[in-house]
Amino acid sequence: MPLVTFGKLSSSDLERVVQAQRVLPVTYSGDVAPAPGFRYTRTVKPLGSGVDLFEKAVAGLGAWAVYPAWITLYPASAPLTEGTCVALVTGLGPVWTVNAVRVVAVLRTPRRLSFTLGTLPQHALSGLERFSVWLDADDRVWYEIAAVSRPQKLLAKVGAPVLRLVQARFAKDSVASLREFVGRAEFGLLAAPNSGDYKL
């Protein structure tokens, strides 16, 4: 399936993407760290403090609340476990993009949760992106997004300046999305903004 399509894709289209990508290797096998020829970005923001808030942030990662509402996941209820593949769907008017990723690592300790996504061939970029929440020695809760990437599709190479703006917007909106999830968790409403089923 092409990276860019005109018209919203059906659930069956997205299922075919996920099934096809599931058997393919990720396109980057390094670490989430600076690498020659790749762009490295890192965003770290506070979420608040306390063990309860940390556990709510952990629940947010498990619900994929790191993705703002303008990105839809398929399947929406995918488990956050190593090997899980999902399609990230975005749309602007009639133009839609589909980028496939795989969970390549999940780390959970009493004071930290992180998961790392690796890009699959159905993705504009080649690289890794890691999402982490942790509780520091003073019981402050932090959220980090770290990524290493470079374009692997011609369209992404041509539109690299625009792509950097999209990445910056994503980082900002991801922080806001997780903060919103944690705030809703105060009232027992734990659904992520994009956790509804993909609609035709």
Please check the confidence at residue 104 and state whether its pLDDT lies above 50: yes
Listed in order, strand segments (DSSP E) in the chain are: 4-6, 39-49, 72-74, 85-92, 95-109, 112-119, 125-135, 140-151
What confidence tens digit (pLDDT) does each residue in 128-137 have? Answer: 999 999 999 9
Asked if residues 118 and 101 have their Cβ atoms less than 8 Å apart, the reply is yes
Contact 128, 114 (CB under 8 A): no
Beta bridge partners of 133: 113, 143
Domain-wise residue ranges, the chain: 4-185
Q: What residues are paired with 134 via a beta bridge?
A: 112, 142
- Determine which of 12-21, 32-41, 161-170, 175-184 has the lowest per-residue pLDDT on average: 161-170
Give the residue-averaged pLDDT of 14-42: 94
With cut-offs at 50, 70 and 90, classify the pLDDT of residue 184.
confident
* The predicted structure's pLDDT at residue 200: 26
> What is the mean pLDDT of the segment spanning 56-84?
95
CA 176 to the chain's CA centroid: 14
Determine how many CB atoms are found less than 10 A away from the CB of residue 45.
15
Read off the pLDDT band of 198 (50, 70, 90): very low
Q: Kindly indicate whether the domain formed by 4-185 is annotated with CATH number 3.30.530.20.
A: yes
3-state secondary structure of 166: helix
Residues 149-163 pLDDT 10s: 998 865 555 556 667
Predicted local confidence at residue 155, as pLDDT: 55
pLDDT the model gives residue 91 = 85
198 secondary structure, DSSP code: P
